[in-house]
Every structure is written in C-alpha cells, then in structure tokens.
Amino acid sequence: MTVKSGFMLDWSQAALCSGCEATQGCCGRKTTTGQFVCFCNDGLHDKNCKDRDRSKWRTITGLGAAACGVIFLSACLLLCLTRSLFQPHPPVKVEKFLLDYRTLTTTRYTYNDITKMTKKFKHKVGQGGYGSVFQGWLSNGTVVAVKLIEKSHNDGEEFCNEVATIGRIHHVNVVRLLGFCVEGSRRALVYEFMANGSLEKFTNITDVGHWVLRKRLYDIALGIARGIEYLHQGCDQRIIHFDIKPHNILLDHDFTPKISDFGLAKSYCKDRSSVTITEGKGTIGYIAPELFYGNSKHASHKSDVYSFGMLLMAMVGLKEKIGPADGSSSEAYFPQWIHDTISNGQKFEGIGEDKDEMVRKVATIALWCIQWSPIDRPCMKEVIRMFESSTSNLTMPPKHFCHAIQPDYMIEALDSSSTYSGY
C-alpha cells in the first residue's frame, strides 16, 4: 500500500482502546515506552478509567474500615476501664487482711465455686446475723454450711475477725472454718455442717427440745466451757468471743457443742488484763453488765464468763418449765429465785428426780458466773473444775447479781421465732 502523505500506523490494541473509550477515556500510547495508556478526565492514566475509580474507592473503603476498627477498639478499652473503675471491690480493710494473712491454710474459693457448692443456693438452712446460710457439698462429697454475707458493718471487720480467728483454731468445741470467698463485694464463709443446728432450738418450751437438753445437759455445758477456756488460754493470743449465747452454739450429729460466729471477737496478748473496746459488744440478755451499763472502755475474758453463766441459765432456767408453781417468777429476778431455791433445798418444778441434782449443779455454777463484778467471777478453768467436782463441794455464791435485768429481759432472745443458724 502506497501512502501519499503522513505515515503508516499499525494498531494492535483495538480491544484495549475500545474498553478505554467505553469508560469515557481517550486511548493513546506513551511516546517514551510505546506502552498503551488510557487518558482519563482527571488527568490520570491507566488501562481503564473504571479500574482507577475502583482502586480509589478501595483505598477510601480501607481507610474507613481502619478508622472504624480504631474507634471500636477504643470503645472496648474505655468500657473495660469503666467497668474496672466502677466494679465493687472488697473494702480496704478486707484487702489489707488478705495481704496480711496470705499464709492462711483455709481454702479460698471463687464465687462460682460457692454457687456450684450450694447448687445455686438451693437449700437454705437458716438466717444468721449477717446473712443467709445454705447447705452445700464439697467436690469430695463433704457436707458443709455456707454463710453468704449480705450485711456488712465496720468495713468488713466482722468478716476479717471470723477468718482470722476461727481460721487458725482447731478444737473439738469450736466450729471449723473450711474456707472463704472474697470476690468484689461478695463474701462467703464455708463451715463444717452441724446436723443438729443451734442450741437455741433445744432451749425452747417444747417437750421434745427440753427433754433432749435435759438428757445431755452436763456434756453440752462442759463442752461449751472447754471451748471458751481454749479461746481464753489455749491459743497464742487470748480471744474474747463477746457473743456467747444459745444461737451461737452449734451441735453436730452426736450433740457435741461447738462455738461459732466470731464476728465480734477480739484477741490480745495474754500478759494484758483487758482489751480496749469502742462500743458495747454482745446480745441483750447475755451481755456482761460492765459492757452494757458501765462507762468503761475495757473488757476482759470475764465478760465471756458472764455470758456463759446466762447461757447456763437459759439451758436450765426457762420459767415456763421450772418456774414457781404460782407463776410469780416474772415479778422477781430469776437468778435470785434460783439462788433462794437451791439455798433452801427446794425442788425445781418440772424436773425429774434423776436430773434434779445435775440441774442444781449447773445452776449453781451459773450463779457464780453471773456475779456483778468481774473480779468475783471464776475464770473458765475454775468453771471446768466446778463441773468435774461433786455437787457437795460447791458453795453458793453471794447474791451479787445484776438486779436491773428482769427475767423477760433475760430470755428475750429465747422467745424469738427467728431461724437464726448460729454460723
């Protein structure tokens, strides 16, 4: 072919050119390399203007996704930080206690462990002073009692007292603490299970409860005395319980008594004669008069001796069962009436001949324990000696009693229909 003007062009990229023009581009060739290009409206050139648009949108989409990811991660971090700041934590006193007592042999459980142990708190067995008590089972099948603390005072002081005191004690007449749980604001205590509950239900006026108590009166009273004596003399430091009463004496399957609930307990060195307290501790009807009426801020182990004496009175002295036949006991101070009855050699109404001597012995020991002045009260070692001696060797104490406490006042806790568990 002859070309008269211009030059001959050989175009082999027709397919690419049509594609470029279809995307509103202008096809051409780079003069330097001879490479086919598609000149787009924005001045950019590529094989296809739409491909360039797609690349641009991919870039925009990628940057947007990255920004969303950063925002999402920031939100998650902020949420975690917020939860950490506002999640309930153990009180400072509890946290300090856990640091100080890291060597405790008592097992620490998680709240999830407690939930599984109690089968989601299915079997409630009682209501304690600070929360509910549930029956539970350890992984080895051991039956336990779990106290879920729902009310807390003094920044968790009662919880710390319980774990620090009972967690280190091993005595046949003191309930055993098997473990505890501290998780946020949740706290729980795990004890050995006491099949017969608290002594309180056996000091009521029912014939069955009264018969069981009379049958085992001596053994139960002596066991409680030995437990208190161990707290006062058998530990490294002297421990004052401050709340000895029927509710806080638990009975196992064999009716062995065990002291429980150490939330008010205080410990101090044995070379000191007393411990400083900031407020009265105990339960009305069992609290020592020097703690309730006096202005003294010092308490000694003799406060527990008084409470033990009133507990013995509750065990042998319910006026509904052994009070005067004419019903006049409510008009006179009950210990005064018991003192007169024993001193005059009279019989207690409602007590069989086989139990009369034992009741008189326990009542006499109780009268010694509830002397008004702490100096006049025996220590628990002397109380045990009284139990182990014959009745004929016991002398009657003077009538130095707390006349301000009336009988109904004394047994106020016994008349309650509470399901208090004692833990």
State the catalytic residues.
243
> What crossing angle do the helices spanning 207-215 and 217-229 adopt, rounded to 10°?
70
Cα distance between residue 125 and residue 247, in whole Å: 14
Q: Which DSSP state fits 141?
A: -
Report which of 264, 246, 256, 102 is spatially closest to residue 192, judged by C-alpha positions. Answer: 256
- Exposure of 116 by Cβ count < 10 A (0-12 exposed, 13-18 middle, 19+ buried)? middle
Cα distance between residue 404 and residue 293, in whole Å: 10
Within 10 Å of residue 219's Cβ, how many Cβ atoms? 13
First to last CA, the chain: 116
Cα distance between residue 401 and residue 367, in whole Å: 8
Write a three-state SS string for 259-321. Answer: ECCCCCCEEECCCCCCEECCCCCCCCCCCCHHHHCCCCCEECCHHHHHHHHHHHHHHHCCHHH
Q: Evaluate whether 339 touches 360 at the Cβ level (below 8 Å).
A: no
Do you know the residue count of the chain?
A: 423
Task: Note the Cα 108 to chain centre separation in Å.
Answer: 12
Report which of 156, 47, 24 is spatially closest to residue 96, judged by C-alpha positions. Answer: 156
- Write the CB contacts of 273 (distance below 8 Å, at least 6 apart in sequence): 300
- Write the CB contacts of 163 (distance below 8 Å, at least 6 apart in sequence): 97, 101, 104, 106, 177, 180, 189
Structure tokens at 62: 């990628």
Report which of 169, 164, 172 is spatially closest to residue 224, judged by C-alpha positions. Answer: 172
Q: Which DSSP state fits 207?
A: H
Q: Evaluate whether 249 touches 310 at the Cβ level (below 8 Å).
A: no
**How does strand 107-109 pair with strand 177-183?**
parallel
